[in-house]
Structure 1
């Protein structure tokens, strides 16, 4: 359906209720309920309470494009819908002062990434594009990882400096970039906002990150509720974020009194290492009944290891990922995963960088966005009694 059609449908729905007093009241109550639900969702983040363009649209059941045109006061949007959208935006704390007509800016925001292989990046970039449309800005995605003989991994500082010379407004940094200090130095005086980076970066520049303590806690709570106690984690290697997620897993296990069985098998964010780590877990002397992973790609590797070792998922081994990417949702994986709320991560980061570009002199901000658990087939069963008995015997022997 086109945006124009969506706008007509959304405005028609509101105008239809205006034909009768009872209908108008009923619709108004519905809108208030939706806005309240969005407000509650925003409040979970524990940072500055602010709505995004998508929050405003979702609260009224319209598209982001229609919400943007309504906020700009464009004439093809009916007056009643414009009023509803503006009221929702004010109530949700959307930064109206950043709104601009599309022709008001020719600026570009550069999104710096380590690699283009990460499927999570596409979700983030989509959210960033939607939010930046409100300010007339566009997005360019730039891989910054460069391999050179002298260093194992180096930042492509030439590319970043070229972006500065071309006049980009600012930078969004996805995750902790390799060779971070050189990468930051190449950005010059342009504002930088981090997305999905580690807690260690908080305080240096604005950061919008995933609350991994909540995320790993949700996974462990889910698995324990199914009867799992021998739970392992694959991760902790390759970045500070990986180590933080491993620590969060340990904390969640400790909360359930399971510290003694909180095993962390070293692994990074790749499928190959995930498969190797999974094989180590399944061929060891103490085999877990469930495994959480640093990301979805690693979890795909663990699933491959389970198939090779003859373990049925989920009846003999439950597996969970992190990121809720397209890999997790695929019919072959059906992977339980943590949804990091990429729409909100990208949108809030986009707002922050625009505010910095506009000269807002505020203290450095750090927002931890609350993730949610998406349960799929890979963790739909608890451990079988005979499996627990066999594994305990192996451990004792």
Structure 2
């Protein structure tokens, strides 16, 4: 502001009046000061101003850059937060940077609330953080206290996949399970119980894999090595399913002619014409709006709301059928 005042030939307090849009300056003076500020490339430090008011109006987000679906949720969070006058700051979880480190960075940035995408931190840790500021676990359902969560119905999603495949005539169905991922335990339970309910407990196969294309490729090698091999695969997520499809084709098992494949997320990748993946839909905008709503409700209610029991929102899912699944071929 000193630089602007010097260039405009006015006092620094007058510049402050103009920037705050407070009374005390003529319209001509306001226009002059703002024009000079524009020429100098001046930008007010909003974060410093808010911190003086004991506010940051920042929502912190931890996410995994390798998960495309996280990017879709982040876009929705930014839109929802902006509608309420909040900004977001991102903190990545990578192979070299733990989720704990990513969360700690957001806490140092004085975020007013944190939204954790696909968190694998112990619930006790989330409860501990939740005693001081709003915490929302996104895509990982919970029933714990002191923090909120929003996720889709993982159990029902896999049940829909089993219903879809059995409706196409498939009986030998494999599921690629991923440990320590959000929704993993519920999806696995949904698969086992749905197969048992269909009278196919002796036909199901669970193979551990990874939530990436490489993880899916490795898993399908093990699946196709079985005799008789499953005729359908439900993958933990879309990235895993894409790896299953690519590796199956390279091994001489075209999709869907010899192997039907179902993913999870219905990400942008799923609808690409050369993939055309049948997938269980998660609506990233709906997840984002619910997460932001949970965080802001606690913030708007004040400190008393921070310590209340968590609210846990479970959103419905539906199956989007595409060409990666087809009726069981005749023997």
TM-score range relative to shorter protein: 0.7 to 0.9
Name the counterpart of 1:130. 79
- Indicate the SS of the match to 1:297: helix
Match of 1:116 among 65, 68, 84: 65
Match among 248, 260, 266 for residue 318 of structure 1: 260
Report if aligned partners of 2:56, 2:111 keep a CA contact under 8 Å in 1. Answer: no
Task: Confirm or deny that 1:272 pairs with 2:217.
Answer: no
CA shift, 1:189, in A, is: 1.6
Partner of 1:353: 295
Shift of 1:163: 3.2
Q: How many Å separate the matches in 2 of 1:270 and 1:236?
A: 10
List alignment gaps of at least 5 residues for structure 1. Answer: 1-104, 148-152, 387-397
Q: Does 1:369 align with 2:297?
A: no
- The answer to whether the 8 A contact 2:127-2:145 is kept is no
Give the number of the structure whose residues are more often helix, by fraction: 1
Is the 2:253–2:259 Cα contact (8 Å) retained in structure 1? yes
Q: For residue 385 of structure 1, what is the aligned residue in structure 2?
A: 330
CA 1:188/1:205 → structure 2, altered by over 3 Å: closer, same or farther?
closer
- Partner of 1:233, secondary structure, is strand
Cα RMSD over matched residues? 2.3
SS of 2:183's partner is helix
Partner of 1:290: 232
How far 1:303 sits from its partner (Å)? Answer: 0.7
CA distance in 1, matches of 2:204, 2:226: 15
The match for 2:152 is: 210
How many residues in Structure 1 have an aligned counterpart in Structure 2?
A: 273
Indicate how the Cα distance of structure 1 residues 128 and 174 shifts in structure 2: closer, same or farther if over 3 A, else same.
same
> Partner of 2:133 in structure 1?
190
Rg larger in 1 or in 2?
2
Aligned-partner SS, 1:194: strand
After superposition, what is the alpha-carbon deviation per residue over 1:280-321, rounded to whole angstroms, capped at 9, x for unaligned? 111212201111010011111111221122112112110010
Post-superposition offset of 1:270: 1.7
Where does residue 72 of structure 1 map in the other structure? none
